[in-house]
Each structure stands twice: as structure tokens, then as C-alpha cells.
Amino acid sequence: MRIGRKAGKTHAVEQRRFGEHNQFARETDRFADCISADRQPHTPGDEELHDTKLRKAIYQAARGSRADKLPTVQDLDTTRGPAPQMEG
């Protein structure tokens, strides 16, 4: 990742490297583990459905189309299950 910063006439570019990982693959694996172990997943299906609708609206807007109006989400994180263990 390249990060550019400008302060007055001074300009700096910083290069940062992050380890590779696939967030969606990890989440899918965790979800499958929860099903196998009969545990509640951290990210519920309703939230993923809302995220999918949100992505669709973003793509529609980017194409210049009128995006679907999405309902306001109330009470964030009320449907979440227990947090997964952090991976090192």
C-alpha cells in the first residue's frame, strides 16, 4: 500500500506491506466451522444479506443508475454471535 502525505510544501510517500489474507475465505471457513459444531456464527445471514444489497446499491450508483433505497439499520450488532478468536 502506498500512502501519500502532504504538509505545506513537503510531500512524502510511504510504502507499507501487509501479510496476505482473504477476509471472505476466513469468514466462510468460520461459518462452516460453526455449522459443523452447532454454534452461532459471529456474522449472521441477515447482516450478509444487507451487505449484499448495499454493495448492489453502490455498483448501481457508480454506473450512474439510481440506487435502491435501503432501510436504515437500527440497533447495530444485535444479531451477532460470539466474536471469533483473533488469528495471529
pLDDT digits (tens, 9 = 90+) for 5-62: 777 777 888 888 877 777 777 877 888 888 899 988 877 777 777 778 888 888 888 8
pLDDT digits (tens, 9 = 90+) for 62-84: 888 777 777 777 766 655 666 66
Given this model, what pLDDT does residue 87 score?
52
Residue 88 has pLDDT above 70, yes or no: no
Given this model, what pLDDT does residue 37 score?
92
From 1, 6, 84, select the one nearest 40 (Cα to Cα).
Answer: 84
Bridge partners of residue 5, in order along the sequence: 12
**Residue 28 half-sphere exposure toward CB, CA atoms < 13 A:** 5
